[in-house]
Structure 1
Amino acid sequence: MNRLPTICRNRLLETLDPDDLALLEPRFERVDLRAGAALFEPGQDVNHIYFLERPAVVAMVVDLSEGDSAEATMIGWEGAVGGVVSAGSKPAFARMVVQSSGPAVRLPIETLEQVKQESSSCRDHFSRYADCLLAQVMQTVACNTTHELDARLARWLLALNDRVGVPEMKLTQESAAQMLGVRRTYVTKVLGQLERLGAIHRQRGKVIVRSRQRLSDHACECYGELRRHFDQILPGVYSP
């Protein structure tokens, strides 16, 4: 792995070929992401790609005309947001919302596209990540369609904990309900069940993971399936 102490501790960058990384590095710009901020709105041109660092987390949120919304996928230090696949600026389909504050570096899309054209290893690396990102979206669709809320919420908390990296996670019941596309009362009930099982502990505006094993025991199969796909396609990128 390439170590980036002065740039960004992002696992997608750390596993990039050193020669490719050297071509991208001069255009990196460090930014601080604040919870609640929108990196992109639907229809807005995506001009930069953001490489996140713990504990930053960004949610890809799809808004519906009746006012409801739901998370399509969650991205942290294992990945990047914006312009991963498209060649050049393209309008965003979903809203990219910062769920957890933290540092990141951003890179102009044209820089990444230029390096991808010059380097087959760079193209392959980001194509593999695009495959993993698509797998996340498909897994979320299948999970939301077939699994009960208690298993979905446990899976979602594990995924968030992977990206934040510490037991204590800033989280309100209202924001969790919005991400999962359900009523707040349902989330409150399930969080209470998980707390009684000893998996989590709730405090005002935060959830503390007390036992990942108990949380994992309660989660659906989607959590493990996605981790295995990452390990097959991009070994070493998903959080250990």
Structure 2
Amino acid sequence: MQNRLLAALPAADYGLVGPYLTHIELERGRLLYDPGDAVDTVYFPLDGVISLMTLMANGAAIESATIGPEGALGLMAAVSPRQSLSRAIVQTPCRAVRISAMQLHEAWEKSPAIRQFVDRHTEALFGHAIQSVACNALHSVEARFCRWLLTCHDRISTNTVALTQEFLADMLGVQRTTVTAVARALQKRDYIRYRRGIVDIIDRPGLEAMTCECYGVVRRNYERLLPTTSF
């Protein structure tokens, strides 16, 4: 896989950022930002998933959006200095390239194409977050679990997702016992194979039939706003 934003840049515009990109391997569970942290580095995933978590004062958390090869983490720091509004944590092992926010800002000032992809990505991520609000409030845990698996599957190069019950419960905002019950129900339908800390996706069309409309809404929005060819 490759990062969709970087791949869409014309060669001259890519030349403004390419020399400053460095490759990094991000292990599952790695904390990249907490709320209030200065966003000094922008990450462009090549594969894998980064979760944006909204935190409550009592320690509760729920996922508000995910970022994968279609986008970037901390991209608005290209415009001006930013503080993180959420916790950014690596959800699956992730290969990425990164650049300092300052270096990306310098390229943003020079390149209309970079300014355009920052604007488009911001709109897509905002749409993702507000759709998640509605989904978490209105749809069943089973449908949301299927949406989450499909969203993750789109961003990785394997049918196997490694994660813990605790991590899944945080993603969905439910108890671990609820995660276990839903996973077992999907396994009985032969849609997934669920082992301790591992989910194997066996029947993707089955998951698509079980998920809610939010999966398609978010995916179409990204496809509309973030083209796969140069701007």
TM-score by length of structure 1 reads: 0.91
Moved runs in structure 1, 4+ residues, more than 4 A?
A: none
Residue 141 of structure 2: which of 127, 139, 149 is its match? 149
Distance 1:200 1:67 in 2: 30
Distance 1:125 1:95 in 2: 23
1:161 has 2:171 as partner: no
Alignment of 1:3-152 (within 5 A): 9-54=2-47, 56-84=48-76, 87-152=79-144
Distance 1:60 1:230 in 2: 17
SS in structure 1 of the partner of residue 155 of structure 2: helix
Deviation at 1:64, TM superposition (A): 0.9
Aligned partners of 1:212 and 1:85: how far apart in 2? 36
What is the Cα deviation at residue 104 of structure 1?
A: 1.0
How many Å apart are 1:83 and its aligned residue? 3.4
Amino acid aligned to 2:52: M
Q: Find out whether 1:184 has 2:145 as its counterpart.
A: no
Deviations 1:130-186 (A, max 9, x none): 111111101111100111111111101100111122111102222111111111111
Whether contact under 8 Å (2:70, 2:226) holds in the other structure is no
Q: Deviations over 1:180-209 (max 9, x none)?
A: 111111111111111111111112210000
Separation in structure 2 between the aligned mates of residue 53 and residue 123 of structure 1, nearest angstrom: 21
Q: CA deviation at 1:224?
A: 0.7
Gaps of 5+ in 2: none
* Residue type at the aligned position of 1:208: D
Which AA in structure 2 matches 1:83?
Answer: L
Q: Any conservation in 2 of the 1:47–1:83 contact (CA below 8 Å)? A: no
Residue deviations 1:72-104 (CA, integer Å, cap 9, x gap): 111111111013366232221111111111221
- Unmatched tracts of structure 1, length 5 or more: 1-7
Given residue 16 of structure 2, which amino acid in structure 1 is its aligned partner?
L
**What residue identity is the alignment partner of 1:119?**
S
Q: Structure 2: how far apart are the matches of 1:107 and 1:85?
A: 11
% identity of equivalent residues: 35
* Contact 1:83/1:89 (8 A) holds in 2: no
Matched-pair contact (CA < 8 Å) for 1:17–1:122: no
Provide the secondary structure at the position in 2 that maps to 1:67.
Answer: coil
Match of 1:53, SS? strand
SS across alignment from 1:45: coil
Contact map agreement 1:85 1:130 (CA 8 A) in 2: no
Residue 60 of structure 1: SS of its match in structure 2?
Answer: strand
Residue of structure 1 in register with 2:225 after alignment: 233
Larger RCO (alpha carbons 8 Å, 6+ apart): 2
The code of the aligned residue for 2:65 comes to: T
Over residues 9-53 of structure 1, what are the superposed CA-to-partner deviations in whole Å (9 max), with x where a residue is unaligned? 212211122211111011112212111111111111111100011
CA RMSD between the two structures: 1.5
* Matching residue of 1:220: 212
